[in-house]
Amino acid sequence: MGQTWAEIRRFWQESRLEVIVMVEGIDAVTSDTTQARHSYCVDDLQWNMELGPCVRPDDEGRPVVDFEHFHDVIPAAQIVVES
């Protein structure tokens, strides 16, 4: 039997867990490496939420990150896959 969101959150709080996220990419224009690092504790998380879509194809079908929607979160039950 799986745990509930409340049980998982309580475990994180009692354990004082921390998640460290690192993202690395290469700038297409300058070929410079770009890095971002952030730490998340239990109070930083939005439970039962998902990141909203922020990558869309351009006119030629190449993926482009839409930074206006980069931090969007939506309830997990409302995720819709666009074709």
Q: What is the CA radius of gyration of the chain?
A: 17
Contact call for residues 16 and 49 (beta carbons, < 8 A): no
15/5 same-domain check: yes
19/55 same-domain check: no
Q: Report pLDDT for 78.
A: 54
Q: What is the pLDDT of residues 4-40, one digit of tens each?
A: 778 888 998 899 899 999 999 998 899 999 999 999 9
Task: Kindly report the three-state secondary structure assignment for every residue of the chain.
Answer: CCCCHHHHHHHHHHHCCCEEEEEEEECCCCCCEEEEEEEECHHHCCCCEEECCCEEECCCCCEEECHHHCCCEEEHHHCCCCC
Q: Report pLDDT for 1.
A: 56
Provide the CB-side half-sphere exposure for 82 (13 A, CA).
Answer: 6
39/61 same-domain check: no
Q: Report pLDDT for 45.
A: 85
Domain that holds residue 24: 1-46
42/55 same-domain check: no
23/3 same-domain check: yes
Whether pLDDT at 62 is above 60: yes
52/42 same-domain check: no
41/52 same-domain check: no
What six digits make up the tokens of 69?
A: 């929607």
